[in-house]
Amino acid sequence: MSKMSPTSARIRAQAAVAAAALVSSGLAVFAAGPAAAAATCPATAAGGATTAFQTVEAECSTTTGTAVGPDRTQGTVASEASGRQAVKLGQGQSVEFTLPAAANAINVHYNLPDSSSGRISVYVDDTKLAGGLSVTSQYSYTDTPSISGSKTHHFFDDARLLFGKNAAKGAKVKVALDSGDVSAATIDLADFEQVGPAAEQPADSLSVTDYGATADDDSDDSQAFHDALAAGQQQGEQVWVPAGRFEIGTALQIDKTTLRGAGQWYTVLHGNNIFNNNTASGGIKLYDFAVFGSVSERNDSSPDNAFHGVLGAGSVVSGLWIQDTKCGLWLMNGASSDLTIENNRILDTQADGVNFDGAVTKSKLHNNYLRNNGDDALALWSNGQADSGNTISDNTVVQPNLANGIALYGGSDNTVSGNLVQDTNALGGGYLVANRFDSVPLSGTITLSGNTALRAGALDPNWEFGVGALWFDARDQAISGVTIKVNDFTATDSPYEAIQFIDGNGAGKEVGGITIDGVTVKGAGTFVAQSQTQGSVSISNLTASDVGVTGTYNCPFPSSTPKMTFTGSGNTGWTGTWDDCTSWPEPNSGPPEQGTTAH
């Protein structure tokens, strides 16, 4: 399901007026400008998932290559890099990382020129590792013409390698383009990890190899997995998948069964749609393996997801590495409840990382790490039936490149806490709470607590204005009859506004029921609060610094709509209101000489 931003003619008209006004005054309208050479390491932020790996940025390492970025212009490679910066290598050039802790494995986030593939060499303390990293542009340069405003995007992919030996803290790991390697590559970062040995088969388990599965060949193992899962369910035994790569050409159905691998670095299920459940009662347990797909374009009519369908009640998905599928987990086809989805790594999907597509209740998305997702990284979409009583906690989202980090589309009594969202790109922001995509409207109590946004928010190319690090959208209907509580929120280096209130259809529907208490804004390109519709919102104890233009934008559309009423107390650092509703300021342009009033 596409999470596109439908273009509103009225909002585009408003943006066109703004553009004309700024052009006539000699100002550029939200132009990101040419990329500047990287000078410092990007800021980091606490919060989010606890991971087994540590990330080192290429631009913070020793290199003979060329720094690219920082750049936030949609459609540029640097704009999709972590920290909006990376290092470009040519033949004979390298990036040398210093290990922050002992490690025996590397995962590199890279970009290649279009239509290229090959190898990148890896050295550990000057010893070249056999094989190197196998890399390809097959999963990059995605076009989504059905989504208004999208451009060619999804530039990066990941490649991983076990060293075959242990390297101590402080060791040097070099990623290089030697003779015979690819001619050019852009390196964003490397994840370093101390991977334990492959797990052994548990007692009283059934191995897929006993049913005919064979690892590391080209034969289709679907039937063997099907038979093993059926036997496991019948006998009440878990099903074991040893180390190796297994081809799954036909989607599997699973219910009341545990499937366990030897570890996400060792057991790989290769296929575009590993599980496709039309029905399930629950008790599905998926542990400790990787799913690698070969999905090189987004087709929303095809279920090219690692898991597609219903999990039922009391199911667990834990310790999976999912990469190069359309989505990680897309839950639909029936009710699911009391789910635990935790400790997973979901990388380089063409669309969502995880989507609760209606009727998911009392479930938790906890301690997952997501990067380079082609749509919302984590979404609760109350499609037809409400997602209710769910918790999204302590997850890290890096660079969703065509939507939001974490999104609530309708639903009731859901909680988002302790998450970190960073480096979002076009057509989305950091955290979204919305009545949108025909969702069951927001109701009950929605809680956002202890979340962090780093460089989150972006220019929407349809609207031609910025989207917030935290935003609320009454697109389908007014946000009313719901209690939305936001506390302990931190927004750092927001490219545009930190907090936004809007009716995305430009009809002036009300946004209300929101209480925001305890916010730290450390750098906002334009405003601390940007309201484009009517309603009443309470904001208290918000401390802001380094505000790019002025404190508040309060220009509802249509212009005949009443302005947002802001209440609250204890706010500091964001006085001033932008009064000229016919124009938009350029980020970080400072307040106008005239036209501000006290907030």
Identify the three-state secondary structure at position 19. Answer: helix
**CB 318, CB 350: distance < 8 Å:** no
Q: Give me the residues paired with residue 86 across strands.
A: 68
**CA–CA separation, 385 and 336 (whole Å):** 11
Helices (H) and strands (E) in the chain, counts: 2, 52
Mean pLDDT, range 567-581, rounded to an integer: 95
- 565: CB partners within 8 A, 6+ apart: 535, 536, 537
User: Please, which pLDDT band fits residue 591 given cuts at 50, 70 and 90?
Assistant: confident
> Average of pLDDT values for 255-279?
98
Q: Which residues contact 534 (CB under 8 A, 6 or more apart)?
A: 508, 509, 510, 511, 556, 561, 562, 563, 564
**11 SS3 class:** helix
3-state class of 244 per DSSP?
A: strand
CA distance 60 to 168: 19
Helix (H) or strand (E) holding 224: helix 222-235
Residue 157 has pLDDT above 50, yes or no: yes
Q: CA 495 to CA 37: how far, in whole Å? A: 18
Helix, strand, coil: what percent of the chain each, to 5? 5, 40, 50
What pLDDT is attached to residue 4?
Answer: 39
Closest Cα to residue 279, out of 359, 357, 333? 333
- Label residue 592 by pLDDT band (50, 70, 90): low
DSSP string, 107-119: EEEEE--TT-EEE
The answer to whether the Cα torsion of 563, 564, 565, 568 is positive or negative is negative
Average pLDDT over residues 449-457: 98
DSSP E strand boundaries for 495-534: 499-502, 511-524, 527-531
- Homologous superfamily assigned to 54-193: Galactose-binding domain-like (2.60.120.260)
- Amino acid in position 524: A
Residue carrying the six token digits 């936004």: 500
Look at residues 505, 506, 497, 499 and name the one whose alpha carbon lies nearest to residue 484: 499
- Predicted confidence (pLDDT) at residue 432 exceeds the cutoff of 90: yes
In the predicted structure, residue 12 carries a pLDDT above the cut 80: no
Determine the length of the chain.
599
Band of pLDDT at residue 200, cut at 50, 70 and 90: very high
Q: Which residue has the tokens 């459609």?
A: 75
Q: Which tokens belong to 355?
A: 């989507």
Tell me, what's the pLDDT at 38?
41
Average pLDDT over residues 547-575: 97
- Can you tell me which residue has the tokens 């124009």? 583
* Fold of the CATH domain 367-597: Pectate Lyase C-like (2.160.20)
- The CA distance from 184 to 596, in Å, is 49
pLDDT band at 277 (very low <50, low <70, confident <90, very high): very high
Q: Which pLDDT score is estimated for 3? A: 43
- The answer to whether the Cα torsion of 193, 431, 548, 188 is positive or negative is positive
Which residues have CB under 8 Å from 408's CB, separation 6+? 379, 380, 414, 416, 432, 433, 434, 442, 446
| Tokens linked to 89 | 């290598």
What's the per-residue H, E or C state across 138-206?
A: CCCCECCCCCCCCCCECCCEEEEEEEEEEECCCCEEEEECCCCCCCEEEEEEEEEECCCCCCCCCCCEE
Residue 34 clears pLDDT 50, i.e. is over it: no
Model confidence pLDDT, tens digit, residues 79-102: 999 999 999 999 999 999 999 999
Structure tokens at 322: 């999912």
Residues 6+ apart with CB under 8 A from 230: none
The tens digit of pLDDT for each residue in 97-147 reads 999 999 999 999 999 999 999 999 999 999 999 999 999 999 999 999 999
Tokens standing for residue 118 = 């090959």
Instruction: Check whether 27 has a pLDDT greater than 70.
Output: no
Would you say residue 31 has pLDDT above 80? no
| CA distance linking residue 9 with residue 505, whole number of Å | 8
Tokens of 378: 């984590």
Query: What pLDDT, in 10s, does the model give residues 358-411?
Result: 999 999 999 999 999 999 999 999 999 999 999 999 999 999 999 999 999 999
3-state secondary structure of 174: strand
In tens, the pLDDT along 293-347 reads 999 999 999 999 999 999 999 999 999 999 999 999 999 999 999 999 999 999 9
Cβ atoms within 10 Å of 586's Cβ, excluding its own: 17
Q: How far is CA 97 from the centre of its chain?
A: 25
Strands 391-393 and 157-167: unpaired
Please report, for the chain, the start and end positions of each structural domain, with discontinuous segments joined by +.
54-193, 367-597
Q: What is the pLDDT of residue 40?
A: 79
Residue 171 has pLDDT above 50, yes or no: yes
Reported confidence tier of residue 5, pLDDT bands at 50, 70, 90 = very low
